C-alpha cells in the first residue's frame, strides 16, 4: 500500500507540473455528443517536474478516442530521474480506458499501470464541460481514490488526486497543472 502511494505521488508530481509548450485548442466534440463533458481534456498534455518528489522528471499524457469513439483512452508516461544514491531513474506508464456500458448513461474508467495496479472509477461531471471527477468504489481492504480534472486558463488543466483511508474522509494528496501541447 505504501509503495502504491509513493508511486502515485511520483507519477502525479510529473503529470501535475507546468509544461512550457505552446497551447492549442481542444478538439471539438459535437453538441449533444455524450462525450461532450470530456472535451476540455481531449488532446496532448505535457508536464515537467518541479520540486520533490519528481524533480528532474518529465512526462506526457494524452486523451484520445478509440474504437470508433466508443472509448476515451488516457495514456501517461513519466520519467523520473534517479534520486541520490540510486543507479537508475524510474519510468512509470499507465493507461486509463473511459467507457459506458451498453444501455447506460454513466461513464466508468479502468486504470492500469506497469506496476500491476488496477483501479476502477465512476465518472461524474459536477460542472459539465469544465470538471470531471473520477472516484473509486469504497473498499474495506484499501483506500478510496478521487482524481479531479478542472479546465484551467490559457491551455492548462488543473488536476488533484485525493485519497481516503477505509471509512475515512478524502484528503488532498497532490495537485497541480498540466499544459496543453500542439
List the one residue out of 91, 72, 90, 92 whose CA is nearest residue 82.
90
Reported in sequence order, the residue ranges of 49-104 that DSSP labels E, i.e. its strands, are 57-66, 71-80, 90-99
Per-residue confidence of the chain (182 residues) as pLDDT tens digits?
Answer: 444 444 444 444 444 433 333 333 344 555 688 999 999 999 999 885 554 444 556 788 999 999 999 999 999 988 877 888 888 888 889 999 999 988 888 999 999 999 998 999 999 999 878 999 999 988 888 999 999 999 998 899 988 989 999 989 999 987 778 899 98
CB within 8 Å of 100: residues ≥ 6 apart: 34, 106, 107, 108
Query: In this structure, what C-alpha cell is assigned to residue 117?
Result: 495496479
Distance, C-alpha 47 to centroid of its chain? 12
Please, what are the domains in the chain?
Answer: 2-181 (2.40.128.20)
Amino acid at each position: 500500500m505504501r509503495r502504491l502511494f509513493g508511486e502515485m505521488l511520483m507519477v502525479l508530481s510529473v503529470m501535475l507540473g507546468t509544461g512550457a509548450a505552446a497551447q492549442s485548442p481542444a478538439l471539438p466534440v459535437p453538441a449533444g455528443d455524450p462525450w461532450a463533458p470530456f472535451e476540455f481534456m481531449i488532446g496532448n498534455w505535457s508536464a515537467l517536474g518541479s520540486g520533490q518528489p519528481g524533480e528532474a522528471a518529465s512526462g506526457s499524457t494524452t486523451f484520445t478516442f478509440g474504437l470508433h469513439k466508443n472509448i476515451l483512452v488516457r495514456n501517461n508516461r513519466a520519467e523520473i530521474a534517479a534520486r541520490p544514491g540510486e543507479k537508475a531513474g524510474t519510468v512509470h506508464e499507465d493507461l486509463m480506458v473511459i467507457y459506458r456500458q451498453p444501455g447506460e448513461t454513466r461513464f466508468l474508467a479502468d486504470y492500469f499501470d506497469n506496476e500491476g495496479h488496477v483501479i476502477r472509477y465512476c465518472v461524474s461531471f459536477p460542472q459539465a464541460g469544465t470538471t470531471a471527477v473520477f472516484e473509486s468504489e469504497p473498499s474495506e481492504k484499501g483506500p478510496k481514490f478521487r482524481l479531479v480534472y478542472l479546465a484551467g486558463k490559457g491551455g492548462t488543466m488543473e488536476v488533484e488526486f485525493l485519497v481516503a483511508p477505509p471509512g475515512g474522509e478524502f484528503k488532498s494528496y497532490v495537485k497541480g497543472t498540466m499544459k496543453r501541447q500542439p
